[in-house]
Every structure is written in C-alpha cells, then in structure tokens.
Chain A
Amino acid sequence: MGRRRSRVEGAARALPEAVAALSRSLPAGPSPEIFRRAKFDRPEAAPVLWQLLLRVLSPLAANNTWTDLAPEAQARVVKSALGSRGYPRSVLLQFPDGSSQGSRELLLALSWLLAQGPLLEQLLAQTRVQVGDQLPQCEALTSPGPLACLVATKSPVDLRLVEWLMGKLRFRWRCLILSQREQCTLLSKIHLYTQGCHSQQSLGHLSVAETEMLRDPESSQQLLHALESENARLEAALEWRRCELVFWQWMDTVLDACSPETPAVTSQPTALPMISEGGLGELESVRQELLALQEELREVAEPRRAAWESRVGGLGQGPEWSNSRKALREVVERELADLQGSWKLCSTPAQPQRPHRLVRSKDGAPRRQGLQAAEVIRTLSAKEDCLKKALHQLQCQCQQELARLAGTLPGLIWVLPPGH
C-alpha cells in the first residue's frame, strides 16, 4: 500500500518535471501550467500554443517578422505548415482562424510534431550561438516553402507585368549575389588580419564574433549571456530525454479525453490543396483531353508497331544484326548509367550535415580534419550542373511548346525579346 502510494507520488512529481523540461528546451517555452490547462481544453491556453506552434513550425518566426502577424494569419500559417507536413487530424485544420478554442487539439499537434522526429534538435540547432564563422548552409534553398500560397486570379494578367516582376526578381537575385560576395571579401580580410591571434593552434585566426568581442567588451557579456541561456536549454533537453516517457503516458490520457465522436485518425488526404469550382471544371476538361489523346496515340501507334514488327521480322538474324543490337544495348546502358549518376548527385547532396567553422589554412599546411573547401565546391558545382541540365531541358520544352503554338497561328512572326 505504502509502496504504491509512493510510486504514484513519484509519477505525479515526474510529470511536472518532464513538462517543465520540455518547456525550458523549447524556444520561448510556455509555463508547464499551459500544458495542464490545454489537457482540459481551456481557452486561455490557446493563444500561447498558437504562438509556440508558429515558432516551432517556421524558422523565419525567430526573427520576429511573423510574431507581429494578426492571430488569424498566424493560425493560417500554422495550419498550412501542419497540413504540408501531413498532420492527420482534421479537427484542428477546420478550426476557424483566430479562434481561441481547441487548446487540447493544439497540444496534440505539438506532441505529434515532437513524436515525428528530431524537432527539438532542429530547434536547438537553429538558435545555436555562433562563435566561429559558419559555412553557409543551403537549406533555405532546398526546403519546400509552406507559404507558397496560390493567388487565384480570374482576370487575365498582362504578360508584360509578369516579365516586369520576373525582371525585379532577377535584380534582387543579383543584389543578393553581390552582397554575399561582399561578405566573403570582408570575412576574408578579418581572417587575414587576425592571422596568428587565436589561442587555439589549429585555428590560427579569429572569427567575426571573436574579433567583435575584442573590440567591444560589452558584446562579450552579451555572448556570455546567450551561451548561458543556450546551456540551460541544452540541459533541459537532456532532462526531457530522460523523462519523456512519463509525458507520453500522460499524452495517452489527453488523447483519451478527446470526445469519442472525433475520430482519432481521419481518412482525409493529408494535404488539401485548394481547388476552386473553376479548377474542378478545368480538371474534368483536362481529363477528357487526356483520354482523347490516349486514344489518338493508340490509333497512331498500333499500325506503326505492326509495320515495324513486319519489317523487323525479316531481319533479326546474322552477325550484323547481333552486332548492332549489342552496340545499341551498350548505348542504352551508358545513357542509363549517366542518368543514374546524375540522379544520385541530385538526390544525395554531400552537403555538410552539421555546421562547420570556416577556417583559412596556410598554403602547404598539412591537411586537417574536416571538410575541405575544394570538396564543397566540387559537390556544389556538380549540383549546379545537374540543375542547369534540368533547367535547359525545361527551357527546351517551353521553346518547343512556344514554337508549336506559334505554328498554329499563321502570319505570326515570333520576335524574341532582347536582353538576357
């Protein structure tokens, strides 16, 4: 009896500890009390959890650009991000934007994200305090943008406006390249000027943050503060790992508390792209067209195949035939290997998996551990080639399509726009 009570008490203490550890390890983590209230679906917990989900789901939210958003907009961002990650419960997605109901559903969503994968680790990595200069990661370019909202316009858009906007984008892209280049130049200067200043022999020079610390003692206080709070979050994360089991057991009771008429898992498709009425009609017409094309293709292909087979039937023998077959097979195999090679390069970018410190080493210095710039450049240029090929292919397709369209309009002269 006594032993049982102490076990219950132990569990009762363990849960708040686990929740507190989780809170402390999350960015701007709420008080553990919020979690308890959310279990009972209390409305006052909802705004805090919307905010938290926004922070967790969108890395951009860290620079406070999104926290200024209206609650409705925040809710929309959270929902679309959850939807694109395949969140299975439709109850949350159906809440009206900006409502304060459903804090329990929000808690479930947060737990689902935690259970899905290394969320906590990713968040910690995002807000890591950086002392050394980092190799820029290209994640931002590869991660799918959950925000790409389609603006359905009914009225036709002037092509010149599209070209205008495209041109603007091009200029911004060029400015971005120029400012990246500027940063590289300045970084390189700092590395050169501080050569030999670092206490650690293997590094040789100071990073920007270290140089700044020397110039401005105030900033080292700030850095210290940031490091301390990061340490606290790391410790909390370790603590959470130790006792998360209790949390999950508790989450089971939260799940049980959900009203039975709400199916736990719905059969809804995970991501629901918006299809307007017009879109459905279009889809139908496209389907019809596709069927007609298939039929047409069959009609064209069958007699050809028959003719071809009858022609081939006469050949198929002799050393010449087998030689040419062999050559053909080799060509096909080579092409296939090329394709597979390029696919591999595209699909497994040998991007540095963890952050690396940028260090300039002297010419002729012995090769150190770590990633060499040459390797990264090689990988990146292989990837660039790959993307260029894909772009070229798409451009060719577009040109063919344009040529086809132009061909259907007799008397039309196609003048390509000047410029790039």
Chain B
Amino acid sequence: MSIVTVQLGQCGNQIGFEVFDTLFRDSHCSQGLCSKRENEAYQASCKERFFREEENGVPVARAVLIDMEPKVINQTLSKAAQSGRWKYGQHTSFCQKQGSGNNWAYGYSVHGPKHEESIMNLIQTEVEKCDSLSGFFIIMSMAGGTGSGLGAFITQKLQDQYSSSLKMNQIIWPYGTGEVIVQNYNSILTLSHLYRSSDALLIHENDVVHKICAKRMNIKQISFRDLNRVLAHQLGSVFQPTHSEDSSFHYCRNPLVSGIVGPGLPHATNVCLVALYRRPMFLSTNGDLMEHLVPHPEFKMLGVRNIPQMSAESLAYSTFTWAGLLKHLRQMLISRAKMEEGIDWQVRPPLSGLPPIGKASAHKEPHFNTSLANLVILRGREVHSADVGGFRDAALYTSWLEPADAFSVWKTPRPFDKYEKSAALVSNSQLLVKPLDMVVGKAWNMFSSKAYIHQYTKFGMEEEDFLDSFTLLEQVVASYGSL
C-alpha cells in the first residue's frame, strides 16, 4: 500500500524534502543492529509506501510539489537531485509566479479554483503509478496563504475525488508570537475546513519543535532546516514500517486482505496474489493508525511525542532501558510535556475505582491530560521485552472508552535513525486544546473589531464563513474539554 504525499507551499515543500530524506536515509543505513532479512523487509516496505522505481534505478518519491512561487520548489528539486540517493519525479511539481500574500482567501478562492485542473491532474498521474493507494499525506502550514488556503482547497477536492482513500494532513502550527498578522484568521479557516474534509490532522507546533532544537539538540542558531529535521524525525518514527500488533513475529502487510475479503473473493485468489507478488508483509497502511486514533468525527487532532531526542554527540554517550523510556513517555503524555525535559512529575492520573462521577473533569487535576486514544510505536533492540502496561491504565482515558479500544502498540526490532531504542507516541488527547482555544480566542478578538476582514471578503469570502469556522472550532474545544 502506497501513500502519495502532497507538499504545499514553502513550509510543506521544505518539510516534505526532509521527511523523504529521513525515510530514505534511515531505511538505507546498514546498522547491523538487526538481522539482514529484517532490514531488507523494512527497506522494501518503506520503499513501497513512499518511493517508486524509475528506469535508471534511482528511487523517486511518491510526491507532488505545489507552490505559487517557483523559488522553494526549485531549491527542493535540486536538493533532492544533488543527494544522488533519491529524487522527485519529472513533471510532479506545479508552481506559479505569484504567491498568496499570506491571505488564506486568496489561496482558497483564487489560486484553488484557477489551478484546480492542473493540480488534480498531477495528483492523478502520481496515483496511477501506485499498485495500491492507501491514501494521501498532505503537508502544509496553517498560518500562511498558499499552504493553508490552497491546502484546504486541495484537501476538499481530494475528499470529493478519492473519497475512500485516507487523508492525513500534517499541519504546522505557527509560533505564538507570530510571523504574520492575520495568522489566527488563517489558522481557524484552515482547521475548520480540514475538519470537514480530512480524516486526521497531525499537528506540530513551531514553538515546541523550536524548544526541542534548543534544549535537546543543543543548537545555538536555530534555522528552519533544523526545525524541519526534528519534525521529519518525528514523522519518520511514526511512518516507518512496524510489525503488526497481535503477533510480533507474524508479518502482515494488510490484515484486512486475508481476513475480511475472504468470503467475498475466492480464497485462492488471495493466496495466489500474495504469493505472486511476494512483497514485505509489514503492516503498512496508515488506515490502521487512523482506525485506532481518529474514528470519531469530532476528535481528529493528533499530537506526536518522541523519546529520546538528542544531538548525535550526546547520543554516543547514552544508554537507555525500555522501562525508563516508557516511564518518561507516559509522564510526558499525562502532564502535557512537550519533550523529555521539564516534565512535571507531580501530575498523577485520577484515582481509579472511584464512582463514575469521580472521573468527571471537576475532580481531575487541572494539568492532567485525558486521552481519547493513544498509539505507542517502539523501535529497537529487545523491543519485545518492553512493557507498555502503564499506557493500559483506564485512568488515562475518557470514561466512555475501554483501554483495550483506546490503546494500541506497534513494535519492530529495527532501530530508527541511529537510536538504538526509541519510542514515539501518537496521541488523540487534550494536548492541543489549549493552543486551539488560544488561537480561536485571538481570532475572535480581531473578528469582533472587524479587523482585516475586508482582505478576505474582497476575494469572495463572507463573514458567515468566519462564523461557521468559529462555531465548529468552539464545538471541537468543548468536545475535547469534556473528555
């Protein structure tokens, strides 16, 4: 199952490049920490998802690059070509001469409809090169004009045209201090539109990634490239292949094929197809990720946490145990810590065994983060000895979901990105309620004084559109708040 990545705007294109580079570098580094067979299966599975083979043997990223200015796209294309390891395909990019001027409405209402046909054709060409399409991974920022406005437009079109394919949007949350004066407007418009057309919003906050760079990676002068590398590391730790959950030694490419299709299609066909196309049988759709984490239409926001994260120099002198890593990761989750530094160890889950009313939010510690669903991904040595029992505690979750439904774990003995042992957490929880509430609040303050509204209405938007967005996001905040 393959994923087509859509890189939108300056931010989306720069991050997209780092993601592909990380995925490729990781899958091709010979670490000697796991068996050769394991490594080959891992490599092949990664390739099937994110790359395709071109005639001269250089893997080509399954990606479409879109921007309204040519500069970043040209840089991205040439950086990939210079790497010599992988590249972007010919005729997979689309750019124009003029940007969106940080105006969401311009991206959504002007660039979108104008270039719809060309962009959708590009995407379709890429889709046709997949034997099987699992879905789309759409990388964009939320504050600017092209990524956010055009991104929301394109996501909606993808939903119309590929309704059964899965759609996950990678969204970059702007710095709280702000680069763009109307970033809160752009943000609420992006989020509300994506809430209608996407299946999952994987959110990275610039502030958080910046702190990780400063505190964990010891970078003095932090550039966008540094931020993007940390981000790519986090995404890679989620998207690289893992074994299926139920049986750690049974490689399963997509359990749905052998399980559910059986009665409908002749069994022999399944068996033969699998035999004929002997491919790595890793669990490879991100459908499973979505089925575990975002089945509810009101709860689509996902946050990622990683451990350990450190500079290469420090890494050389560090050793880790699974028990230590998982203890930290769990506390990061329940205390809303952004990284492994500065964790508040005082925060405890509410006592279980109390009557149901005891789980109501009034009785909770104010800093406790209630989860809806969590996915933990473990990579590295002795992974099968890791005990994730701490995440199966009912006190971590909302009262209406059982831990068995709310928690899942993926494992692989193949280490990721030079870390002998590493853990990633994808969480659908209250982590992002506070930032969301703040953005909505700031946008509302501007809106109530009608600031800059004419910039949007002159491109065909109406005040009603803003009000719809506010209503929807207030509802999201309330839903998460009442977990």
Contacts and interface: CB of A to CB of B under 8 A. Distances in A.
Interface of A: 59-60, 63, 129-130, 133-134, 136-138, 140-141, 158, 160-161, 163-168, 170-172, 174-183, 185-187, 189-190, 208-209, 211-212, 215-216, 415, 417-420
Contact of B164 (A137, A174, A186, A209): A174
Given A178-B285, A417-B298, A140 B263 contact: yes
B166 interface: yes
B460 interface: no
A314 to B, nearest CB: 50
B419 interface: no
A164 B272 contact: no
B134 A211 contact: no
B401 A164 contact: yes
B297 A171 contact: no
A164 B291 CA distance: 10
Given A183-B269, A209-B272, A419 B131 contact: no
Contacts of A167: 294-297
A174 B297 contact: no
A171 B291 contact: yes
Contacts of B265: 134, 136, 180, 183
Contact of A208 (B133, B261, B269): B269
B475 interface: yes
Contacts of A140: 263-264
Contact of B297 (A185, A190, A419): A419
Interface string B289-321: 011001111101000000000000000000000
A163 B256 CA distance: 22
Given A171-B290, A171-B291, A178 B273 contact: no
A140 B296 CA distance: 27
Contacts of B276: 186, 190, 208, 211-212, 215
A419 B263 contact: no
A418 B273 contact: no
A179 B256 contact: yes
15 contacts: A130-B269, A137-B264, A160-B400, A164-B400, A167-B295, A171-B290, A172-B260, A175-B291, A176-B256, A180-B261, A183-B273, A208-B272, A209-B268, A418-B476, A419-B298
Contact of A418 (B133, B195, B272, B405): B195
B275 interface: yes
Contacts of B257: 179, 182-183
B262 interface: yes
Contacts of B1: 178, 182
Contacts of B166: 171, 174
Given A133-B269, A134-B269, A209-B272, A175 B254 contact: yes
A171 B163 CA distance: 11
Contact of B132 (A164, A181, A417): A181
Most chain A CB neighbours (cut-off 10 Å) among B133, B263, B277, B401: B263
Contacts of A208: 268-269, 272-273, 276
B206 to A, nearest CB: 25
Contacts of A176: 256, 260-261
B267 interface: yes
B363 to A, nearest CB: 18
Contacts of B134: 178
B472 interface: yes
B291 A172 contact: yes
Given A140-B264, A171-B295, A177-B164, A182 B132 contact: yes
A211 B290 contact: no
A172 B290 CA distance: 10
A144 to B, nearest CB: 14
B406 to A, nearest CB: 9
B291 A168 contact: yes
B78 interface: no
B165 A178 contact: yes
A174 B287 contact: yes
B298 A418 contact: yes
